[in-house]
Each structure stands twice: as C-alpha cells, then as structure tokens.
Structure 1
Amino acid sequence: MLYPELFKSLEQVRWNMETDIPWDKFDAAKLSDEQAQTIRMNAITEWSALPATEMFLRDNHGDSDFCAFMSVWFFEEQKHSLVLMEYLRRFRPELVPTEAELDKVRFEFDPAPPLETLMMHFCGEIRLNHWYRCASDWHTEPVIKQIYKIISQDEARHGGAYLRYMKKALSEVGDSASAAFAKIGVLMASARRTEKPLHPTNLHVNQSLFPNDTVQSRLPDPEWLERWLDDQIKFDGVWEKKVVDRILHNMSLLFERTFDTVQELNRYRKEVVARLAVKPAEAV
C-alpha cells in the first residue's frame, strides 16, 4: 500500500496559506486587469478537481489504496482553487468566482478505463507544472508569482505520486498496464500536433453533454485557455519540449528503457500490443 508513505511525504512539504504566501508583498501597480482575469479562470478550472475526484473514486472502487490517496490529492487541488480565490478576494474582490460558476464545472464524467485515466492525469500534472511555472514568469505582481510557483511544485509532486501507482500497476497486471500507459503517453506527448492543448480539463468526458463536456467549455470564457497559453504567458515550443521531454523521461524510468522521441515510445507501444495479441493464443 502506497497511501501511508505518500501521505507522510506530502504532509512534510505542505504549505500554509497564511504563513507561506507573502500577502504583505502585494503590489497593486504590477497587477493588470488582463492578468487578474486569468487568475479568475484558473481558480474556476482548479475547482474541477471535485468532479475528477468523484470519477476516480467511482472508477477505482476496487482499489482502496488509490482511493485513499485521493483524499490527499483532492485536498491539495481544491486548495489551489482556494488560494487563487483568496488572492482575488483580497486584491480584486469583484473577480471572485461565484458559486454558480464553480458549480458549472462540476459535472459527471463518463466511466473510462482506470489505467488510461491514471496516465492521462499523470501527464496532466506534468503539463500543469510547466504551465504554472511559465505563468509565474509572465506575471509581474510578486504575490501571484509566488503562488503559481508554489502550486506548480504541488503538481510535480502529484505527478510523482501517480507514477508510483503506475509502477504498482505494472507489477500487478504487466503488459495490460504497459499498453495503456504507452498509448496515452504517445497521445499526450504529441500535443504540438493538435489544435487544442492536451490536458484533462480540455478533453471531452461526457457524451450526453457534447460539445459542452469539457471543463474549459463550461468556464465563463470557454476560449480563455488557448489565449492564455498562446498570447499571454506564451507557452511556446521551448516550453512544450520541456513537457514532452519530462513525459519521455518518466516513461523511460517506468519501462526501464530509454525513449528519446515519441516515435520510440510508439514503437514500444506496438511491441506491447503485439505481445498481448499473442498471449490468448498461447493460453489455448
């Protein structure tokens, strides 16, 4: 069971909203209206950890270890939304999200294969870590710069925790887990080939609500994410390469072989799929 160890390690580095955020360093002259609006959108987006947790608990009902870890993940992710809203409450109270706006991003996700979902969120944590680091560089107001830096570190630690559960799945179910992780890894490391940012909050998750079944589609400004990345924080090819390299590095650690490119990871995926196709015949 991983939960006790993960709980202890995350507890040791947990930050305090009152003492670790330098609220007294706020500089109103360095916060533009444009920047404040992006903080509002991120606060609402982070609230979607609530439906994501409900999905994880439902789809992993038979895994008490992972479901217990969700208590930590959910707490820390909701805290991200809370600290961004607290920043707005103190310094731009007219932009604090309404409860109705928060409720709108809480909707049911369709059931999905747990291993693929785990890998999707692992990659999502890596991507969000880099988005927030980039956002910290873009912002000019010192308090929000520090907030984004702090929550980016949380996202990195969450990715590390998910990686532990992925390793556990490999030891328990072998190639079935390898195929799931490699498939999603290829997809999430190929984001530069897609029109929209590949992140769990920007993927369709409820067929009956399509096309309004992504978290981003249910925000007050559904188009904000692309504008934030492309025009505001300028998450360019250099940053995207960092995301891809980090995914490939972790896949190399997970599968104990080196992947320098997405193509190499895809070749490995095909090897695993071929092995799985042979196994039923061998069992006959």
Structure 2
Amino acid sequence: MLYPELFKQLEAVRWNMDSDIAWDRFDAGLLTEEQAQTIKMNAITEWAALPATEMFLRDNRDDSDFSAFMSVWFFEEQKHSLVLMEYLRRFRPDLVPTEQELHEVRFEFDPAPALETLMLHFCGEVRLNHWYRRAAEWHTEPVIRQIYETLAKDEARHGGAYLRYMKRAMGRFGDEARAAFAKVGVLMASARRTAQALHPTNLHVNEALFPRDTVQSRLPDPAWLERWLDQQIQFDATWESKVVDRILHNLSLLMERSFTSVQELNRFRKEMAARVAAASAATAAPRPGTAG
C-alpha cells in the first residue's frame, strides 16, 4: 500500500494555517480590488475538491489504498479553500464566499475511466502548481503572495503522490495504463492549441447539466479563469511551456522512454493503443480447434 507512506510524507511537511502564515505582515495598500476578487474566485474553485473526492471514491471502490489517500488529498485541498477564505475574512470580509456560492460547485461528475481520471488530475496538479507560482509573482500584497507560494508547493507534492499511483497502475495494468496515461498526457500538454484552459475544473463533466457542467461555469463570474490567466497573472507561452516540459519529463521517467515533444508522446500513444487493441483481439479470438 502507498497510503501509509504518503500519509507520513505529507504529514511531515504540512503547514499550520495559524502559525505558518504571516498574517501580521498584511499591507492593505498593496491589495487591489482586482486582486481581491480573484482570491474569492480561487477560494470557490478550490472548494470543488469536494465533488472531485466524491467522484474518486465512487469510481475507485475497488481500490481501498487510493481511496484512503483521498482522505489526505481532500483535507489539504479543502484547506486551500479555507486559507483563501480566511484571508478574505480577515482583510476583505465583504468578499468571503457565501455557503450557497460554495455549494454551487458541488455537483455530480459523470463516471469516467479511473486510469484516465488519475492522469488528468496528475496533470491538473502540475498545471495548478505553475498557475499558483505565477499568481504569487503577480500579487503585490505579501501575505497572499506567501499563501499562493504555499499552495503551489502542496500541488507539486500532490502531483508526486498521483505519480506514485500511476506507477503502481502500470505494474497492475501494463499497456492499458500506459495507453490511458499517454492519451490524456497528449491532451493536457496541448493547451496552446485549445481555446480553453486545460484543467479539471474547466472540463465538462456532466452531460445532463451542459453547459453548466464545469466548475468554472458555476462560479459567480464564469469568465474569471480565462481573464485571470490571460490578462492578470499573464500565464503566457513561456509558462505554458514549463507545464508541458514537466508533464513530458515525468512521463519520460514513468515510461522509461524519452519524450521531448508532444508529438513524440503522441506516437507512443498510438503505439500503446495498437498494442492494447492487439492484445484484446488475441484474447477475444477463438482458440484453434474450438467452435467460433
């Protein structure tokens, strides 16, 4: 089991919201209205760890190890929402999200293949780590800068934990896992070719609720994320390249094969898909001398 070891590792570096955040360094003159509004939107977005956890537990009922790890991931992700709300409570109480605003992002996600969902959230943690690092640079008020730097480190550790479960999955499912991880990796490393930000909170996850079936579509300001990325923290091509490089680097280590571009990963995806299809066909084919 991975859960006991991951619990110890994450417990050892867990930060305390009261003592590790330098609340007394707050400088009201360095917090703009624009920045304060983005903190509210991020607090609500982080609350979506609640429906994501419900999805993970539902779709991984046969995996008690991973489901137990969700207790750690869920706690730390909800803490992200909480520390952002605590910042607002202390310094901009008029912007603290209401319980209804938080509840709006709790909705059911359609069932999805567990392996692909695992890879999707690994990439999401990598991307969020970079978003928060950039947000820390954009903000001018020192306390919220420290908070975003702290959250970024948590997201990086979460990505590392997901990577451990991906490695375990390859040992269990072989080429099926490799094919699933490569498929989602190609998608999540191709954000420069898409009109929307590729993160789990910005993907459609409930067909019956379309178009209000993304976390971002259920925020008080559904257009916030794109504006935050493009105009505010200016998550440009240079930063996007850092995300792609991290995804490709980690997949190279995981697959023990070098991927220096999305194109190389896509060729690997096709290779794995062909191998999975061939293995499936061989299993389905009748044995010689048996009835067809």
Give the TM bin, normalised by the shorter chain. Answer: over 0.9
Question: Following TM superposition, by how much is the alpha carbon of 1:104 offset from its aligned partner in structure 2, in angstroms?
Answer: 0.2
Partner of 1:38: 38
Give the TM-score normalised by structure 1.
0.99
**How far apart in 2 are the matches of 1:112 and 1:272?**
20
**How far apart in 2 are the matches of 1:86 and 1:282?**
57
Deviations 1:61-110 (A, max 9, x none): 00000000000000000000000000000000000000000000000000
Partner of 2:113: 113
**Which secondary structure does the structure 1 equivalent of 2:205 belong to?**
coil
Question: Following TM superposition, by how much is the alpha carbon of 1:274 offset from its aligned partner in structure 2, in angstroms?
Answer: 1.2
Question: Following TM superposition, by how much is the alpha carbon of 1:280 offset from its aligned partner in structure 2, in angstroms?
Answer: 3.1
Partner of 1:27: 27
**How far apart in 2 are the matches of 1:275 and 1:140?**
52
**How far apart in 2 are the matches of 1:279 and 1:214?**
36
Deviations 1:175-210 (A, max 9, x none): 000000000000000001000000000000000000
Moved over 6 A (4+): none
Partner of 1:91: 91
Equivalent position amino acid for 1:13 in 2: V
Deviations 1:33-79 (A, max 9, x none): 00000000000000000000000000000000000000000000000
Partner of 1:7: 7
Alignment of 1:126-275 (within 5 A): 126-275=126-275
Question: Following TM superposition, by how much is the alpha carbon of 1:275 offset from its aligned partner in structure 2, in angstroms?
Answer: 1.0
Greater C-alpha radius of gyration: 2
**How far apart in 1 are the matches of 2:126 and 2:240?**
11
Equivalent position amino acid for 2:90 in 1: R
Partner of 1:102: 102
**How far apart in 2 are the matches of 1:19 and 1:195?**
41
Alignment of 1:62-81 (within 5 A): 62-81=62-81
Count of residues in correspondence between the two structures = 284
**How far apart in 2 are the matches of 1:177 and 1:43?**
33
Question: Following TM superposition, by how much is the alpha carbon of 1:282 offset from its aligned partner in structure 2, in angstroms?
Answer: 3.5
Gaps of 5+ in 1: none
The CA RMSD measured in Å over matched residues stands at 0.6
Percent sequence identity over aligned pairs: 77
Question: Following TM superposition, by how much is the alpha carbon of 1:145 offset from its aligned partner in structure 2, in angstroms?
Answer: 0.2
Equivalent position amino acid for 1:120 in 2: L
**How far apart in 2 are the matches of 1:280 and 1:163?**
26
**How far apart in 2 are the matches of 1:35 and 1:271?**
46
Partner of 2:288: none
Give the TM-score normalised by structure 2.
0.97
Determine if the alignment matches structure 1 residue 124 to structure 2 residue 96: no
Gaps of 5+ in 2: 286-292
**Which secondary structure does the structure 2 equivalent of 1:21 belong to?**
coil
Partner of 2:289: none
**Which secondary structure does the structure 2 equivalent of 1:75 belong to?**
helix
Question: Following TM superposition, by how much is the alpha carbon of 1:278 offset from its aligned partner in structure 2, in angstroms?
Answer: 1.6
Question: Following TM superposition, by how much is the alpha carbon of 1:216 offset from its aligned partner in structure 2, in angstroms?
Answer: 0.1
